[in-house]
Chains A and B, each alone.
Chain A
Amino acid sequence: MPTFVYMTRCDGCGQCVDICPSDIMHIDTTVRRAYNIEPNMCWECYSCVKACPHNAIDVRGYADFAPLGHSVRVRRDEEKGVIAWRIIFRNGEKDMDLLAPITTKPWGQAIPKLADAPAPSQEMRDSQLLFNEPKYIRLDDGDLHTLESNGLKMKDGVYY
């Protein structure tokens, strides 16, 4: 039902409710634990699976085309900056561990606060440049491309 929640692991903390892009992870009022209220609006995006602090959420492939008995599990670690996957086939013959980086910097620290950046000059405001330009376009002394610099002209109609 794409995502589902294991009864014995979920403590109803609501992290999944908070993150689900589709608003389909809700807390059941009777058992006070999370569940997927609308499986046919689930993208299997794993946002809730990754966010769950108790590894209580898993995915069972869409019933209309995925047979039972497979497993795709994940652990995402912002501190270490990695994500680890394990894929197990229905027939058990393939069991893969895959690891990938999710960031190259300490989480969130390398992103600038533009309120603290020096204010743009009037000349820059009147130009076509954006923040950090022209430097960041080529990371050299080059300037922004214009029709003139690239020898282009706007023409109407068909010509090819």
Chain B
Amino acid sequence: MAYKTIIEDDIDILVAGAGLGGTGAAFEARYWGKDKKIVIAEKANIDRSGAVAQGLYAINCYMGTRFGENNPEDHVRYARIDLMGMVREDLLFDMARHVDSTVHQFEEWGLPLMRNPKTGAYQREGRWQIMIHGESYKPIVAEAAKKSADKVFNRICVTHLLMDDAKENRVAGAVGFNVRTGNYHVFKSKTVIVGAGGASNIFKPRSVGEGAGRVWYAPWSSGSAYGLLIGAGAKMTQMENRIVLARFKDGYGPVGAYFLHLKTYTQNGLGEEYESKWFPALQEMVGKEYLDVEASHATHRPIPTCLRNHAFINEVNAGRGPIHMVTMEAFQDPHLEEIGWHNFLGMTVGQAVLWAATDVDPKNENPELTTSEPYVMGSHATGCGAWCSGPEDVSPPEYFWGYNRMTTVEGLFGAGDAVGGTPHAFSSGSFTEGRLAAKAACKYIDDGKAEGIRVSEEQIARRKEEIYKPMEHYKIYRNEITAGSVNPNYINPRQGLDRLQKMMDEYAGGVTVSYMTNEKLLQIGLKKMKIMEEDLEKIAAENIHELLRAWELKHRHLTSEAVMQHTLFRKETRWPGYYYRGDAMKLDDENWHVLTVSRRDPETGEYTMEKAPCYHLVEE
């Protein structure tokens, strides 16, 4: 193939994927590594890439210690109860104690943060969220990253991490291809910070046809955070902990500001409150430690997101749908009405498009809500990701191996969706994690841990052949058929994605089975997943754009397999409303008050699963 090989050598810090996590890493790395070579490789254009590409109307993680609002340990309590206890409290605490310094710098850079005119503090939406005019959130933080980085490579799809040929289990950079020129790019680097994204589009979406693009998490979030890390043999944690979102129907517009700031609320199709009646039975399933409505009222402890989903799903299945958001009261106030619309325009324009198309004026009618298909990610109300070291001064020995946010592969760090056990980081927390990873990566290099890295020509050549194989495959078999997309020797990326989504939906608890799975289903699913791995060797790409989709699919497939393995391992229903293990319908704290940790052997593809202790650092 005529594509050139372009080698970028002597990199100190390579940022693979520059959304909020990656831009934070690139920005901060310059401070600790004045003379270090910092390079960004990004699949799209960093001005509009990642989950925040279209903007945000709120920053959901801000402590406000400056205004006497919350302390880091309050954040730990909140994220812990929301995730039914399964979090890395060391990482949460660490992120929370730094996140305000990130937000204060954003304001200084020009990000419009709203202020409460009475108190002068930032305008709170809820206890944790502050309201912003964040249409340009991403371009602003991208500017900060650009000022720090030596080079930004836009439009590079990073497919694999490079491994050191001199020392086992040490990272040596990454490889990928340019989605415009098609050229092969080799980044030789002492450390890599993976800032790539979580996974949308691995479960069959509710929408059909075009609407498949209106996923809750960005369609370009291709699970590359996990595909890259799993592929390198890094240990993963909590991959079973997929998230289901209760959102405005079809457009998946956000509900946070509606609930918290506009004080709208939900009711069933009969106009009744429905949540509370499901809670007694649910309390039987999960135990009073996790669902105690009275205690929640008394202490403002939130009812976990998944449990509220559970009530929603059951009410709909009982035939009393649809669930409505009662907006007609709040929207009579023109100021609140305007906020309601700005909220969508700032982060989910598609919902505004849908309401305009269907003449839904929330002033005159209460819009429908729905529960989404599941998503796999690590920065919203869920904590999938790599098993990472915490900070020295907080983490117990099992959680600490030298460098903050380093995975179990030496020199390989994570931020944002890539780090497991750290839900509720959101945009500001992801950026903060990037900063933490960058400081640690600089220290790793300064400590001499990256000496003597060697990358063989063989490895570079082998990856190159692998990357372009879908195009070669297409060339070889295309002319066996007259025309069209049906070929006995290959499938195209869209066909592969459809198969993956169907499998995940039916065997791993998607929307068409009301989020239900069990051991038998998962075992069948895993068998099919292995066969799909064989077919992914025969995936065909007609052009460079399809090659991008082919590699996104491979990352989604690796992510999905991990989700199935973890879901099979955890023999309990920890998060009713996110998914159900039909063969173990109760939460089982005696056996499963643990974090699940996996490793896929990159040579054999075999999985090993283990339980890791769940440490607590704050009292109830």
Contacts and interface: CB of A to CB of B under 8 A. Distances in A.
Asked if A and B are interacting partners, one says: yes
A5 interface: no
Given A19-B47, A94-B361, A144-B97, A87 B133 contact: no
A158 B50 CA distance: 36
Q: Which of A62, A125, A128, A137 has the most CB of B within 10 A?
A: A62
Nearest to B110: A105
A111 interface: yes
B7 to A, nearest CB: 24
Contact of B359 (A20, A90, A125, A146): A90
B615 to A, nearest CB: 5
Nearest to A66: B357
Contacts of A119: 34
A31 interface: no
A63 B250 CA distance: 11
A66 B249 CA distance: 12
Interface string A9-40: 00000000011111100100000000001111
B10 interface: no
Given A87-B356, A102-B133, A113 B219 contact: no
B349 to A, nearest CB: 5
A104 B615 contact: no
Interface string A142-160: 1011110010111111111
A115 B148 contact: yes
Contacts of A56: none
Contacts of B45: 18-21
A97 B214 CA distance: 24
Given A76-B135, A103-B112, A140 B66 contact: yes
B293 interface: no
Nearest to A127: B393
Interface stretch (B267-275, B308-316, B340-348, B511-519): B340-348
Q: Looking at chain A, what size class is its interface with the partner chain?
A: 35 or more
Contacts of A1: 210
A71 B143 CA distance: 31
B406 to A, nearest CB: 15
Contacts, number: 296
A53 interface: no
Nearest to A40: B212
Interface string B438-449: 010001001000
B499 interface: no
A64 B356 contact: no
B44 A22 contact: yes
Interface in B87-111: 89-90, 93-94, 97-98, 100-101, 104-105, 107-111
B53 A66 contact: no
Which 10 residue pairs of A and B lie closest in terms of their CB atoms, listed nearest first?
Answer: A105-B110, A45-B54, A44-B350, A70-B356, A136-B101, A62-B211, A66-B357, A114-B30, A70-B357, A102-B136
Interface of A: 1-2, 18-23, 26, 37-47, 59, 61-72, 74, 76, 78, 83, 85, 87-91, 93-94, 96, 98, 100-108, 110-115, 117, 119-120, 125, 128, 130-134, 136-140, 142, 144-147, 150, 152-160
Given A21-B48, A111-B147, 13 more contacts: A21-B49, A22-B219, A65-B211, A65-B250, A98-B341, A100-B133, A110-B109, A112-B144, A113-B148, A136-B105, A139-B104, A150-B72, A154-B396
Interface of B: 27-28, 30-32, 34, 43-45, 47-50, 53-54, 65-66, 71-73, 85, 89-90, 93-94, 97-98, 100-101, 104-105, 107-112, 133, 135-136, 140, 143-144, 147-148, 155, 179, 207-215, 218-220, 250, 289, 338, 341-342, 345-346, 349-350, 352-359, 361, 391-396, 435-436, 439, 443, 446, 545, 548, 589, 593, 613-620
23 contacts: A2-B213, A18-B45, A22-B213, A44-B349, A44-B350, A61-B350, A63-B210, A64-B211, A85-B345, A85-B352, A87-B352, A90-B358, A98-B342, A100-B135, A102-B136, A114-B148, A115-B34, A136-B101, A137-B98, A138-B65, A150-B73, A154-B615, A155-B617
